[in-house]
Amino acid sequence: MLLSKLFIPITKDLPAEAKIKSHQLMLRTGMIRQSSAGIYSWLPLGFKVMKKIEQIVREEQNNIGAQEMLMPTIQSADIWKESGRYDDYGEEMLRISDRQKREMLYGPTNEEQITEIFRSSVKSYKLLPQIFYHIQWKFRDELRPRFGVMRCREFYMKDAYSFDLNENDAVSSYNKMFCAYLKTFQRLGLKSIPMKADTGPIGGDLSHEFVILADTGESKIFADKRIFDVPIDKYKNNEASLKKMRDDFSKFYAVTDDKFKSEDFDKNVKKGDQIQTKGIEVGHIFYFGDKYSKAMNCSVDSKDGKKTFVKMGSYGIGVSRLVAAIIEAKYLNEKMKWPKSVSPFDVVIIPAINKNDNSNLEKANSIYEELKIKGIDVLLDDVEENISNKFKKHDLLGIPYQIIIGSKATKDQFEFKEIDKDSQMLDLNKIIKLLKN
Distance (Å, whole) CA 107 – CA 105? 6
Residues of this chain, 95-124, that bind ligand ATP according to CB under 6 A: 109
Determine if 291 is a binding residue for ligand ATP (CB under 6 A). Answer: no
Contact 56, 164 (CB under 8 A): no
Q: Which listed residue (21, 23, 208, 321) binds ligand ATP by CB under 6 A?
A: 321
Distance (Å, whole) CA 120 – CA 127? 13
Residues of this chain, 149-188, that bind ligand ATP according to CB under 6 A: 151-152, 155, 157
User: Minimum distance between the CB of residue 150 and ligand ATP, rounded to whole angstroms?
Assistant: 6
User: Minimum distance between the CB of residue 155 and Mg ion, rounded to whole angstroms?
Assistant: 12
Q: Which one of the spans 112-120, 241-249, 280-288, 405-413 is the region binding ligand ATP (CB under 6 A)?
A: 280-288
Q: Which one of the spans 162-170, 177-185, 187-195, 283-291 is the region binding Mg ion (CB under 5 A)?
A: 283-291
169 touches, from Mg ion, ligand ATP, none (C-beta below 5 to 8 Å by class): none
Determine if 284 is a binding residue for Mg ion (CB under 5 A). Answer: yes
- Of 140 and 390, nearer to ligand ATP (C-beta) is 140
Contact 49, 344 (CB under 8 A): yes
Query: What distances in angstroms separate CA 435 from CA 293, 341, 346, 361, 366, one per listed residue?
Result: 50, 12, 7, 21, 17
Q: What is the largest CA-CA distance in the chain?
A: 86
Cβ-closest position to ligand ATP: 318
Determine if 151 is a binding residue for Mg ion (CB under 5 A). Answer: no
Determine if 140 is a binding residue for ligand ATP (CB under 6 A). Answer: yes
279 touches, from ligand ATP, Mg ion, none (C-beta below 5 to 8 Å by class): none
Count of residues near ligand ATP by CB under 6 A: 15
Provide the angle, in degrees to the nearest 10, between the axes of the packed helices 319-330 and 21-28: 100
Distance (Å, whole) CA 71 – CA 73? 7
140 touches, from ligand ATP, Mg ion, none (C-beta below 5 to 8 Å by class): ligand ATP
Determine if 318 is a binding residue for ligand ATP (CB under 6 A). Answer: yes
Q: Residue 130 — left, alpha, or beta (φ > 0 → left; ψ -120 to 50 → alpha)?
A: beta
Residues of this chain, 342-401, that bind ligand ATP according to CB under 6 A: none
Q: Residue 15 — left, alpha, or beta (φ > 0 → left; ψ -120 to 50 → alpha)?
A: beta
Q: Which listed residue (119, 246, 284, 390) binds ligand ATP by CB under 6 A?
A: 284
User: Minimum distance between the CB of residue 281 and Mg ion, rounded to whole angstroms?
Assistant: 6
Element (DSSP H or E) covering residue 33: strand 32-36
Cis peptide before 129 (omega within 30 of 0): yes
- Of 54 and 209, nearer to Mg ion (C-beta) is 209
- Of 25 and 149, nearer to Mg ion (C-beta) is 149
Residues 60-99: x where in contact with ligand ATP by CB under 6 A, - otherwise, as a string: ----------------------------------------
Q: Which listed residue (283, 313, 351, 400) binds ligand ATP by CB under 6 A?
A: 283
- Of 212 and 227, nearer to ligand ATP (C-beta) is 212
Q: Which one of the spans 23-31, 40-48, 179-187, 313-321 is the region binding ligand ATP (CB under 6 A)?
A: 313-321
User: Minimum distance between the CB of residue 209 and Mg ion, rounded to whole angstroms?
Assistant: 6
Distance (Å, whole) CA 80 – CA 82? 5
Determine if 135 is a binding residue for ligand ATP (CB under 6 A). Answer: no
- Of 195 and 431, nearer to Mg ion (C-beta) is 195
Distance (Å, whole) CA 370 – CA 342? 22
283 touches, from ligand ATP, Mg ion, none (C-beta below 5 to 8 Å by class): ligand ATP
Tell me which residues touch ligand ATP (CB under 6 A): 109, 140, 142, 151-152, 155, 157, 281-284, 316, 318, 320-321
* Residues at the contact surface with Mg ion, assessed by CB under 5 A: 284
